[in-house]
């Protein structure tokens, strides 16, 4: 079906993204995968290309547009290219709203120009060894010492953890913590007592640096509180819909791309003297996946438009995230199966998509959490 949500401006932006990927990312990507981290030069190149800070006001060097369709184009093209390591979506769509929506004018002047140029790479640190989706379990503390916060604790599975120059840390600022006692504290590179652990060895997205972070009596200036004291829970809930939409958009784009390359593969690959595509079982598999992708795409495009218009609610964002990522997982598994032994070879796109995409049903809120959010809304 012909998509109808994009304008000529979005199409032109898509060409810009594709040119950027071809020049600045794909020639270096295999090396980044071996290194376990992308080059900082790629972030600077993304800044020069106007791909960072799409929603940041122009006065700080950003694009000045809150139209989520541009973010959707980025997510789709990076997914089709298999370039998950350069985590621009995390930077723009997850961390960006915290800085544009919560930062003071002084904080914006300090942080946003570098955010848009690629000189300041960002991360957000929520997950801890004993607290994942459950924010009530956060143990990292930020103690008010008058002229500064004293930060202690540890975080894990932090995307951009090695490269990050600016880390938004979720910490307890009251003894009980939980929904009423968490705050967002911004820690900058070089702060004494702020240490990075190992770059974690993942099964996929090898070039996306994911780290453990440690905070040992880190003195953080009082002016690095982001948003309201003890207001982190509300701030986090406000921005989760966009995070989940970004993941969902990547999910359906991945499923569609896998279907595309697998359809071509079964036309070319022969078994028993004829192409695989001549076998009824193969045709049924392709037909089922194509139908599931088409139905999901229709729903996702509606969600993209609604989010751009500011009317998408958390429940429908959760539906989109759950359904699109679970579809991605199913399609990746079935497409790998249709490739046979070749699907298990790392040089084949389907094998990389299988491992890179497996995290999609976990981060940003697991599938189980998405179902809980939807179920509560219906049965409250």
Which residues are designated catalytic?
A: 243
332/79 Cα distance (integer angstroms): 13
The CA–CA distances, whole Å, from 275 to 132, 264, 270, 283, 304 equal: 46, 11, 4, 11, 38
Cβ burial 148-161 (10 Å sphere, 16+ → b, else e): bbebbbbbbbbbbb
131/172 Cα distance (integer angstroms): 13
Tell me if 225 sits within 8 A of 185, measured CB to CB. yes
230/172 Cα distance (integer angstroms): 8
Backbone angles phi, psi at 218, to 5 degrees: -80, 120
Tell me if 141 sits within 8 A of 217, measured CB to CB. no
Angle between helices 314-339 and 280-308 (to 10 degrees): 150
140/242 Cα distance (integer angstroms): 25
Nearest to 109 by CA among 41, 56, 169, 160: 56
Residue 150 corresponds to which tokens in the numbers above?
A: 């004293």
336/354 Cα distance (integer angstroms): 8
167/226 Cα distance (integer angstroms): 11
Backbone angles phi, psi at 130, to 5 degrees: -115, 10
Angle value at C-alpha 87, between 82 and 89, nearest 5 degrees? 100
Nearest to 237 by CA among 314, 311, 296: 314
Residue 316 corresponds to which tokens in the numbers above?
A: 């429908």
């Amino acid at each position: 079906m012909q998509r109808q949500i994009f304008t000529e401006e979005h199409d032109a932006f898509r060409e810009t993204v594709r040119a950027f990927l071809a020049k600045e990312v794909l020639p270096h990507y295999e090396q980044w995968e071996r290194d376990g981290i992308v080059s900082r030069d790629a972030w600077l190149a993304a800044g020069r290309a106007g791909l960072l800070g799409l929603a940041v006001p122009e006065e700080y060097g950003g694009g000045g547009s809150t139209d989520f369709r541009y973010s959707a184009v980025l997510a789709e093209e990076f997914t089709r290219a298999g370039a998950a390591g350069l985590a621009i979506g995390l930077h723009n769509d997850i961390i960006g709203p915290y800085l544009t929506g919560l930062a003071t004018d002084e904080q914006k002047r300090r942080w946003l120009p570098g955010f848009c140029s690629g000189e300041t790479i960002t991360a957000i640190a929520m997950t801890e060894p004993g607290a994942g989706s459950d924010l009530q379990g956060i143990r990292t503390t930020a103690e008010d010492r008058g002229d500064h916060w004293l930060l202690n604790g540890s975080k894990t599975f932090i995307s951009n953890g090695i490269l990050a120059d600016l880390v938004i840390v979720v910490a307890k600022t009251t003894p009980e913590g939980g929904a009423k006692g968490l705050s967002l504290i911004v820690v900058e590179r070089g702060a004494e007592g702020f240490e990075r652990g190992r770059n974690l060895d993942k099964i996929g997205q090898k070039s996306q640096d994911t780290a453990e972070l440690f905070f040992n009596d880190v003195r953080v200036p009082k002016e690095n509180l982001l948003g309201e004291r003890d207001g982190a829970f509300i701030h986090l809930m406000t921005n989760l819909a966009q995070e989940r939409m970004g993941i969902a958009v990547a999910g359906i784009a991945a499923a569609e791309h896998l279907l595309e390359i697998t359809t071509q593969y079964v036309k070319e690959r022969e078994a028993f003297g004829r192409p695989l595509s001549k076998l009824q079982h193969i045709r049924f598999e392709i037909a089922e996946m194509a139908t599931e992708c088409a139905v999901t795409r229709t729903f996702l495009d509606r969600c993209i438009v609604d989010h751009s218009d500011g009317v998408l609610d958390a429940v429908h964002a959760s539906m989109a995230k759950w359904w699109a990522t679970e579809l991605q997982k199913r399609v990746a598994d079935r497409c790998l199966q249709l490739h046979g032994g070749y699907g298990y070879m790392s040089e084949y796109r389907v094998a990389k998509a299988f491992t890179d995409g497996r995290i999609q049903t976990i981060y940003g809120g697991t599938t189980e959490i998405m179902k809980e959010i939807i179920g509560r809304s219906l049965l409250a």
